């Protein structure tokens, strides 16, 4: 399969490319941070999206590009990709932020109820993509953790363990996922006959503090050095059992994938 990966300079985009390279002809698309062998693309511009897709002629597109504080990139960019997909199989990476705080998990059939601008942008993108490309896969996920210490949460642990200002929230609860598990699942969904909403998050819910402490222990820091505050209650859990039942990829809990080597 000839595969176009948007957001290829990001944590997830890089891992999707790495996982896909042995089986697919992968073309990375990036905005500002150059990726070798890639094409520059501003997804906010429909004409650029059209030109890139016509030049690459992909069989599949995994759309990971977003910018949390920019509606045009997150929402309009996804719409542009859907409008210009030209028959390519589309996998759109969405987020648990399409939901709001509650004490029980959300499954794939529940309607978005975002409470943040970022969540609203992703929810708008989901709605548009389902209308434009009914056969697309929309893969909602949660906090993404890496293997190289470069994910946002891993970097935050290092900063706070070093005494920089800030704190981890004890009332902010998510279902962390390892970037390799997520990338593998996205590629599996791309090649499947699944369409519509899927949930690809870890099977274990943890607070930001619990997650931070696991990262600190793995990386050789004293977890007791991490400051914590309750914060605004934000319990958003994705129930991924339905999607996991059709995947060969084992999406691991954080206590499993963080019980390993120290990141240098």
pLDDT at residue 39 greater than cutoff 70: yes
Place of tokens 């293997």: 147
pLDDT at residue 260 greater than cutoff 70: no
**Tens digits of per-residue pLDDT, 234-252?**
999 999 999 999 999 999 9
**Percentage helix, strand, coil, to 5, in the chain?**
35, 20, 45
- pLDDT at position 262 is 54
- pLDDT at position 174 is 98
82-96, 145-159, 215-229: lowest mean pLDDT where? 145-159
pLDDT at residue 115 greater than cutoff 90: yes
pTM for the whole thing? 0.96
pLDDT at residue 263 greater than cutoff 70: no
Q: How far is CA 110 from CA 57, 99, 105, 113, in A?
A: 34, 9, 10, 9
- pLDDT at position 148 is 77
Contact 46, 53 (CB under 8 A): no
Percentage above 90 pLDDT, the chain:
96
pLDDT at residue 100 greater than cutoff 70: yes
């Amino acid at each position: 399969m000839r595969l176009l990966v948007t957001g290829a300079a990001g944590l997830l985009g890089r891992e999707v490319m790495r996982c896909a390279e042995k089986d697919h002809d992968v073309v990375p698309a990036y905005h500002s941070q150059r990726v070798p062998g890639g094409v520059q693309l501003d997804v906010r511009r429909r004409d650029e999206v059209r030109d890139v897709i016509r030049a690459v002629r992909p069989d599949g597109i995994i759309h990971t590009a977003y910018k949390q504080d920019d509606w045009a990139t997150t929402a309009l960019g996804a719409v542009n990709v859907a409008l210009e997909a030209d028959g390519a199989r589309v996998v759109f990476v969405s987020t648990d932020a399409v939901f709001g705080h509650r004490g029980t998990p959300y499954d794939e059939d529940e309607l978005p109820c975002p409470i943040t601008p970022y969540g609203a942008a992703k929810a708008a993108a989901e709605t548009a993509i389902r209308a434009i490309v009914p056969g697309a896969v929309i893969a909602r996920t949660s906090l993404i953790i890496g293997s190289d210490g470069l994910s946002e949460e891993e970097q935050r642990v290092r900063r706070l363990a070093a005494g920089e200002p800030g704190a981890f929230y004890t009332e902010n609860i998510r279902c962390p996922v390892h970037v390799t598990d997520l990338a593998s699942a996205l590629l599996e969904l791309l090649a499947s006959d699944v369409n519509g909403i899927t949930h690809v998050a870890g099977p274990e819910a943890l607070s930001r503090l619990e997650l931070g402490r696991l990262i600190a222990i793995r990386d050789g820091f004293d977890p007791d050095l991490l400051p914590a505050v309750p914060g605004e209650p934000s319990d958003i859990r994705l129930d991924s059992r339905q999607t996991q039942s059709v995947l060969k990829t084992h999406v691991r809990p954080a206590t499993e994938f963080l019980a390993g080597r120290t990141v240098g």
